[in-house]
Amino acid sequence: MTKLSVNINKIATLRNARGHNRPDVLQAASDCERFGAQGITVHPRPDERHIRYQDVRDLKPIVTTELNIEGNPTPDFLDLVREVRPEQVTLVPDAPDAITSNAGWDTVRHQQYLQGIVRELKDLGCRVSIFLDPDLEMVRAAATTGTDRIELYTEAYASGYHADREAAIAPYRAAAELAQQLGLGLNAGHDLDLDNLAYLQQQLPGLAEVSIGHALICDALYLGLENTIQLYRRQLA
């Protein structure tokens, strides 16, 4: 079964809008787990516009499933990871001013750099995942970095799903099949929702985990957080 990791960045965005502690990010993470989430994902950015570095420190001792920290491996990010030692680190090449992640790594160009980062993170006891577009050359190059998994950036799939879901999923299926052949674990994330998630899961062999935040939190406004998490879990059954 594919695991659901809930990205709680948007809960932190709402909290930060008023400058107090409502909603409580730590309580939200615990509630997500209680409601069925099989992991908690956070993506701290340098400006701390949603998840703050201190949030990550505070989350580590209370998350009972699996903590996944996403981000660009800048010196500050790596210092945080060394301190917190999450179960999984997802390396994302986002610029400091990016609204959201919008591209995968060029694992050919950044091969040596990624090898060093992956080696250090694995020495810390973290599982490592590299954020990738569904490009076969990039998947092959990712396998030589030593990473445990790749995470497929699914924005293009989500954008094309309603027009032609078979065409939209085709490059992702090919990337997933190659990842299996190369011994890489497979994650996926970005713009996944209750409409497109089940088909993605059915079509990608070996899909271990999806991380979903924006759409899930939007749905929770209308459906309630507990019900929403259960609905997403059913799409992955």
Q: Is 228 annotated as a binding residue?
A: no
114-131 per-position pLDDT tens digit: 999 999 999 999 999 999
Q: Is 214 annotated as a binding residue?
A: yes
Is 0.85 surpassed by the pTM of this model?
yes
Decide which of 219 and 94 is more confident: 219
**Does the pLDDT at position 82 exceed 80?**
yes
Q: How many domains does the chain have?
A: 1
**Average pLDDT for 194-218:** 98
**Average pLDDT for 221-225:** 98
**Average pLDDT for 21-41:** 98
**Residue 99, pLDDT score:** 56
Residues tagged active-site = 43, 70, 190
Q: Is 45 annotated as a binding residue?
A: yes
154-189 per-position pLDDT tens digit: 999 999 999 999 999 999 999 999 999 999 999 999
Based on C-alpha coordinates, what's the Rg of the chain? Answer: 17
Paired with 212 in beta bridges are: 6
**Residue 19, pLDDT score:** 87
**Does the pLDDT at position 98 exceed 70?**
no
**Average pLDDT for 10-23:** 95
**Does the pLDDT at position 134 exceed 70?**
yes
Contacts of 95 (CB under 8 A, 6+ apart): 72
Q: Domain holding 185: CATH number?
A: 3.20.20.70
Paired with 187 in beta bridges are: 151, 209
**Residue 177, pLDDT score:** 98
Share of the chain above pLDDT 90, in %: 95
Query: What's the domain range around 128?
Result: 3-235
Q: Is 7 annotated as a binding residue?
A: yes
Mean pLDDT of all residues belonging to the chain: 96
**Does the pLDDT at position 210 exceed 70?**
yes
HSE toward the beta carbon, residue 153, CA cutoff 13 A = 23
The closest of 96, 163, 97, 178 to 132, measured between CA atoms, is 178
d(CA 145, CA 135) in angstroms, rounded, equals 16
